[in-house]
Amino acid sequence: MPPADPRWLTSLVAARLPGHGLPRDFYLNADLHSLELQRIWKTGWLFAGHACEIPSPGDYFTLSLDADPLLVIRGDDGTVRAFHNVCRHRGMILCQEPSGRARRVVCPYHQWSYSPAGDLVACKGMHDVDRAQLGLFAVACETVAGLIFVCLAEQPPPFAPAREVFGKLVAPQGIERAKVARIIDYEIAANWKLVWENNRECYHCDANHPEYVRSNFDVVEADRATPAELARIAAREDDARRRWRDAGLEPSQSGAGIARFPDPQTLVWFSATRSILADGYDSETTDGRRVAPLMGDYRSADVGLLRLRSLPNFCAHASCDHVATLRLLPGGPRRTLARMYWLVDAAAREGQDYDPEALTSLWRRTSERDWQLCEMTQKGVQSSAYRPGPLSKLREYNVEAFVAWYLRLLQGPQGGRFSCDS
């Protein structure tokens, strides 16, 4: 049966046991993947990139969501806009490079020319046409604190709640005044949901991410920490919160363990938290030492770790001196496209102020190991012997929350939509 048939979807959702992972069809079925694109990926806000990637008028970058090629470009007035990267004449892809500069976007096929605002400004050789009606098709675009989000829906959900939260917590980081020091692209042979499930728990961290575990308290869950250790962490958090408030920073996360996100009841799609790093760590690096100059408004390394998340495709960890960002895009039922960015202050000089290896080491190792785990899990769920096991209530509460969030959106209006409540 096709995915539009409610019986098909109802049967699929009913096959999932509460408190367990998703059945194998959720990671393999092409029809289901198409439904996810329509009901999740093309209805909500997606992280597209960083505003510092396109600092000058005419600067652009491209990306694709399934069959929709997109163009993000800075206009002559400084505004960041997004368009379908398709010529209005015969459908040619306009900008074919990952990034570049184009004071006029010129179609390579028949030389139709568009301004960075999307207006058709020249179509030499045509009969009388109304150029005002042939501008590029716009895509909803919002920029907050240097982060660019796009939405393909005709009526996008309100962005204001995300702007309020991200703007307040992210602004001191100075992402809009940063530069991209490194980009690494990955093609993960795994379904996008497996990548998010991996992201939402640290049950696997002890055995797989020694550098990450040393820098954070994510694995210090109540079931494995002594009361004295939890009390020590709480005291450190209280002390840090007082200092951060005095410095004009917004603390938020409280308690050891991984922050709870998402909330399947409210369907809030974004989250920002500031948490403490491990003892002796100024930055989330392999040894805790800074690897670049301080960023943004920071005057001290004592800013903890700022963590950003938005479903379905973005997360970032921001230290006093650098930001590591992840952008995910679906490449099919069994493939996810990942882009890792590392940002530093715009004035930082490679080889003098920062070493690319030291800058990227922790998150390159952590992410690449995660991609391996996701790929091996994808192979496992493809097995005819796969049956979803129970999720740990102590360690995988966020996986359960992610699955519930996903299932509500997958079921459409009756299941739920993106919330505008923060």
DSSP string, 234-278: HHHHHHHHHHHHHTT------SSSPPP---TTT---EEEEEEPPP
**Burial class of residue 150 in the structure, from the number of CB atoms within 10 Å of its CB (0-12 exposed, 13-18 middle, 19+ buried):** buried
The CATH-assigned architecture of domain 160-414 is Alpha-Beta Complex (3.90)
**Can you say whether the dihedral through the CA atoms of 34, 40, 45, 49 is positive or negative?**
negative
What angle do helix axes 397-410 and 6-14 make, rounded to 10 degrees?
A: 170
Per-residue CA distances from 348 to 178, 183, 297, 353, 399 (Å): 9, 16, 15, 5, 38
**Residue 315 neighbours by CB under 8 Å, 6+ apart:** 199, 307, 308, 309, 325, 326
Complete edge-to-edge strand list for the sheet that includes strand 105-106 = 105-106, 113-114, 120-122
Please tell me whether residue 62 adopts helix, strand or coil conformation: strand
Per-residue CA distances from 149 to 54, 105, 146, 401 (Å): 14, 21, 10, 23
Please tell me whether residue 328 adopts helix, strand or coil conformation: strand
Answer for the pair 282, 292: CB distance below 8 angstroms, yes or no.
no
- The backbone torsions φ and ψ at residue 317, rounded to the nearest 5 degrees and listed phi first, read -120, 120
| pTM for this prediction | 0.94
Q: Which two tokens stand for residue 95?
A: 């900008």
Measured distance CA(325)–CA(95) in Å, rounded: 24
Complete edge-to-edge strand list for the sheet that includes strand 80-84 = 46-50, 147-151, 138-144, 80-84, 68-74, 59-65, 99-101
Which segments of the chain belong to CATH 2.102.10.10? 46-151
Q: Given the structure tokens 């042939």, which residue do they identify?
A: 134
pLDDT values of the chain reduced to their tens digit, one per residue, 422 residues = 445 566 888 899 999 999 999 999 999 999 999 999 999 999 999 999 999 999 999 999 999 999 999 999 999 999 999 999 999 999 999 999 999 999 999 999 999 999 999 999 999 999 889 999 999 999 999 999 999 999 999 999 999 999 999 998 999 999 999 999 999 999 999 999 999 999 999 999 999 999 999 998 887 776 777 888 888 888 888 899 889 988 888 766 666 568 889 998 899 999 999 999 999 999 999 999 999 999 999 999 999 999 999 999 999 999 999 999 999 999 999 999 999 999 999 999 999 999 999 999 999 999 999 999 999 999 999 999 999 999 999 999 999 999 999 999 999 765 544 443 33
Give CATH superfamily name and number for 46-151: Rieske [2Fe-2S] iron-sulphur domain (2.102.10.10)
Measured distance CA(132)–CA(139) in Å, rounded: 17
Measured distance CA(353)–CA(300) in Å, rounded: 17
Which segments of the chain belong to CATH 3.90.380.10? 160-414
Answer for the pair 80, 74: CB distance below 8 angstroms, yes or no.
yes
Complete edge-to-edge strand list for the sheet that includes strand 314-318 = 178-188, 335-345, 323-332, 314-318, 305-310, 270-275
